[in-house]
Structure 1
């Protein structure tokens, strides 16, 4: 049985940071057979939303928006200025999302990406409670823009706070706001989850977005991801959101270094996208 998804790709596969000039990617993204383009907002000031919205319309693409949470934006820090930076940033992301008519902002906004340490249970509880408090405020902010937040678990090398579907569902329970939802990324799941199908069922109707690549960050279908279990899980919950290919180009050294991509994962990035979406459609459309 087919899964009713729309297929998308992140512009990170080619460019970083996303800017107005990145709309040059849109025609080929559409020509490859994608319905959705994911816009990672590294610097909101680089994006002319009117131009981007027109380009999306011209190319028949729907947008999704994800946030980028570096060391200056951390809801779990004891430095309140980093909380304020994060609030100011996500407010700009919500404004961009509202103009582009998206329903949610996705990403691991509970903490700085790469914050992975061995800390005491007391410190962990302190940081968890900070995340809960600040993310509840973010949910209230999202409401004012008609949006939700989709929280993404990361693997243990990128986060010591939220690694699995079970972790993110506990976080959402503690946040206790209707606008707190889930995005699951197949790359992180193949590292952290014991069973992909069960993890998807754990997220259940809170799951509103999916990102995929292979367990090695490469082209979907070329690695060890249990795609049958992935499909069965999405069927179980009657998932109807987007499935977005997210990986990164080794040509952008700062980004590649941040995600530890030290070699080419395809002959070229266009092949990565076109072969990836072909595999996904064969897998999930039948």
Structure 2
């Protein structure tokens, strides 16, 4: 049976942060040929869900939602006030998901992005256990909203906790809650995995969302990513869901610095989106 893939793009390709006014991007995203738009939630208070939902409907777009987990959102921090702050943020994100009729919230919510250090095995165990216990609470919150969470492994330069498919499956197993699912991002996978296809099979039916860009964060098809292995892996598990281009505009300096994008990856962000979608459709619909 042919996989059902919704081809999507993150609004981070053009803007940061996402606000209600960002719905001005939706007609262009639809015109480019996308099925789905991904909304990264840096500040939920900047987003009027009713207006966004109407704009999605008006443009015939599906939607996915991912969280943004900077240094103030860290479930492994020793300060419990930090945990409370993260829970409050996640509750708002879950409310947004419900209003947009999304089935899950995605992202590396186990720890702060950029928390990559050399620490003792004892400290690692403490932080792992904090992540597990706090994500069990997050899963209970998600269940109350009839949602899942899609946990994302990051490369070693952005996380010292969860880098691979094996890592994230260990985390999901330890959380032991049906709400705990997986997001895989091809950019991180090209750094950390020995085999893209094997990694996808490792997570299997826990995989509910996929993000992609090239190994250099550029346009899909212009780098070293083994795209055929990627397709075969998704075919192996009969993946149905979003395949979302996640890259970032160099025009927003704070965002560009956070993800270390020091130069443009295409003549324009629109060209990036257009060429990337064309390549993904040729590769994954072939």
Under TM normalisation by the shorter chain, which class is it? over 0.9
| Whole-angstrom CA distance in 2 between matches of 1:49 and 1:77 | 30
For residue 131 of structure 1, report the CA deviation from its aligned partner: 0.2
1:52-201 matches, within 5 Å, as: 52-201=52-201
| Whole-angstrom CA distance in 2 between matches of 1:217 and 1:162 | 20
**TM-score, L = length of structure 1:** 0.99
Please tell me whether the aligned partners of residues 151 and 181 of structure 1 are also in contact (alpha carbons under 8 angstroms). Answer: yes
Any unmatched runs of 5+ in structure 1? Answer: none
Say which SS state the counterpart of residue 92 (structure 1) adopts. helix
Please tell me whether the aligned partners of residues 2 and 284 of structure 1 are also in contact (alpha carbons under 8 angstroms). Answer: no
Deviation digits for residues 222-271 of structure 1, max 9, x if unmatched? 00000000000000000001100000000000000000000000100000
Q: Would you say how many aligned residue pairs link Structure 1 and Structure 2? A: 286
For residue 2 of structure 1, report the CA deviation from its aligned partner: 5.2
Any unmatched runs of 5+ in structure 2? Answer: none
Dislocated runs of 4+, deviation >4 Å: none
Please tell me whether the aligned partners of residues 36 and 64 of structure 1 are also in contact (alpha carbons under 8 angstroms). Answer: yes
| Whole-angstrom CA distance in 2 between matches of 1:85 and 1:63 | 26
Say which SS state the counterpart of residue 161 (structure 1) adopts. coil
**TM-score, L = length of structure 2:** 0.99
Indicate the residue corresponding to 1:283 in structure 2: 283
Deviation digits for residues 198-238 of structure 1, max 9, x if unmatched? 00000100000000000000000000000000000000000
Say which SS state the counterpart of residue 210 (structure 1) adopts. strand
| Whole-angstrom CA distance in 1 between matches of 2:265 and 2:217 | 8
| Whole-angstrom CA distance in 2 between matches of 1:238 and 1:176 | 24
Deviation digits for residues 31-52 of structure 1, max 9, x if unmatched? 1110000000000010011100
For residue 3 of structure 1, report the CA deviation from its aligned partner: 3.5
For residue 4 of structure 1, report the CA deviation from its aligned partner: 2.2
CA root-mean-square deviation: 0.7
